[in-house]
């Protein structure tokens, strides 16, 4: 299916969260939405709470999803 032919671009209920532990002890939080193929990842700051960083990244991800929806309209 062509990207432009996909009527329902995103499904916010299907946003996936992956917490990846790096060999050096660091961590990366990855958010992805399978239908649109959009993914966003950020290395987490060890001094900050993971929940707060997750909420901030989720807001940015949802804004990016909204831009994808507008661009497809």
Backbone angles phi, psi at 28, to 5 degrees: -120, 135
Give the pair of three-digit tokens for residue 17: 């969260």
Per-residue pLDDT of the chain (73 residues; tens, 9 = 90+): 444 444 545 667 889 999 999 999 999 999 998 888 889 999 999 999 999 999 999 999 988 888 877 787 6
Q: Name the residue ranges covered by the structural domains of the chain.
A: 3-72
For residues 39 and 36, what is the distance between their CA atoms, to the nearest angstrom? 9
The strand order across the sheet containing 27-33 reads 16-21, 27-33, 38-43
């Amino acid at each position: 299916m062509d990207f432009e032919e996909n009527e329902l671009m995103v499904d916010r209920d299907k946003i996936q969260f992956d917490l990846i532990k790096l060999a050096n002890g660091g961590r990366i939080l990855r958010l992805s939405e399978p239908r649109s193929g959009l993914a966003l990842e950020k290395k987490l700051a060890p001094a900050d709470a993971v929940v707060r960083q997750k909420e901030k990244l989720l807001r940015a991800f949802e804004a990016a999803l909204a831009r994808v929806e507008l661009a497809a309209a």
